[in-house]
Amino acid sequence: MELMNIRSLTQSAKSGRNWLGLASLLTGLLAWWAIARYGGLPSFILPSPGQVWSRFLRALLDGSLFVHTGVTLVEILTGLLAGALAATVLGYLVAKSRALERVLSPYLVASQAVPLVAIAPLLVIWFGPGMFSKILICALIVFFPVLVNTVVGVRAVPTALHDLMRSLRATRGQILLKLEIPAALPVFLGGLRIGATLSVIGAVVGELVGADMGLGFLVNVGRGQYDTALVFVAVFTLILLALALYGIVAWAERKLLSWQEN
């Protein structure tokens, strides 16, 4: 729901009131600067925008930001891809088979009841501090929303259209390609949009628990060394990553679902 609101917010921003959003951002930045400048806080509590900017440039120039962002991005994309792929295939099968749904639903419900943040340490213990444990956490967190939306999307394909396809003697493959996939796509992409945002959280949670690379690791390093500006740099980079991913999925939705009424 929250994500839907973000979507409608970004859409309304596009409808000709861009300057209002921009002005709001600048005001926020100004307030931050003013608090940092006149609030009497030490810079390891709240660095000023200028300090964060110069820390950002330093991290950019020595290549470290690039490396850590790259690691996190690979984790996110691999996890998202693996999780979404598994969820789509399993979701389709569950949608088609009530028996399979009955067999799997206790596990699916239970998997949702487990807070992933709590088992992240376990996964890091089992699979090591490298990228694999992060990819796994990422895939697990993406899995459920994509699965649920795949099931809902495939189940919602109108029976009348199934009848049409069968009256035309369509093969199973044709029904999948020309009916089920396009009909389920809007709901599926909604799930993917949620999954894309969650995947960033998954990767960062994994990195915070234990890692030697990545933006979550950078947050930990910054915290340990009272280099709070570095924490800010890592956080902003994460925000940008999440927004970019979200934007890509939203863009794909607009392209693929142009037949829908706005």
Partner 1 sequence: MSVDPILTVHNLSAVFPDSNGGLRALDGVSFEVCPQEFVCVLGPSGSGKSTLLRILAGLLPPSSGKVTFHGGEHPGIGMVFQQANLMPWRTVSENLMLPLELAGAEIGASRQKAQEMMELVGLEGFGSYWPRDLSGGMAQRVAIARALIHDPDLLLLDEPFGSLDALTRERMWMELSRIWQARQKTVLMVTHSISEALFLADRVLVLSQRPGKVKMGLEVDLPRPRKDEMRYTAHFGVLARQLKEAIG
Indicate the residue among 61 and 257 with the shorter CB distance to partner 1: 257
Q: How far apart are CA 98 and CA 94, in angstroms?
A: 7
Indicate the residue among 221 and 252 with the shorter CB distance to partner 1: 252
In angstroms, give the least distance from the CB of 156 to partner 1: 13
In angstroms, give the least distance from the CB of 67 to partner 1: 43
Smallest CA-to-CA distance from 90 within 30, 154, 168 is with 154
In angstroms, give the least distance from the CB of 187 to partner 1: 13
Phi, psi (rounded to 5 degrees) for 100: -60, -35
Binding residues (CB under 8 A) for partner 1: these are 158, 160-161, 163-170, 174, 178-179, 182-183, 185, 257, 259-261
Indicate the residue among 19 and 259 with the shorter CB distance to partner 1: 259
Are residues 51 and 37 in contact, defined by beta-carbon separation less than 8 angstroms? no
Are residues 183 and 260 in contact, defined by beta-carbon separation less than 8 angstroms? no
In angstroms, give the least distance from the CB of 159 to partner 1: 10
Indicate the residue among 5 and 258 with the shorter CB distance to partner 1: 258
In angstroms, give the least distance from the CB of 167 to partner 1: 4
Indicate the residue among 28 and 182 with the shorter CB distance to partner 1: 182
In angstroms, give the least distance from the CB of 237 to partner 1: 37
Query: Long-range contacts made by residues 93-99, C-beta under 8 angstroms, separation at least 24?
Result: 94/147, 94/151, 95/150, 95/151, 95/153, 95/154, 95/155, 96/154
- Contact residues for 149 (Cβ-Cβ < 8 A; gap 6+): 91, 187, 188, 190, 191, 192, 194
Indicate the residue among 41 and 257 with the shorter CB distance to partner 1: 257
In angstroms, give the least distance from the CB of 178 to partner 1: 7
Please provide the DSSP assignment of 152-202 as one string. Answer: HHHHTS-HHHHHHHHHTT--HHHHIIIIIHHHHHHHHHHHHHHHHHHHHHH
Are residues 156 and 187 in contact, defined by beta-carbon separation less than 8 angstroms? yes
Host H or E run for residue 255: helix 228-256
Indicate the residue among 77 and 165 with the shorter CB distance to partner 1: 165
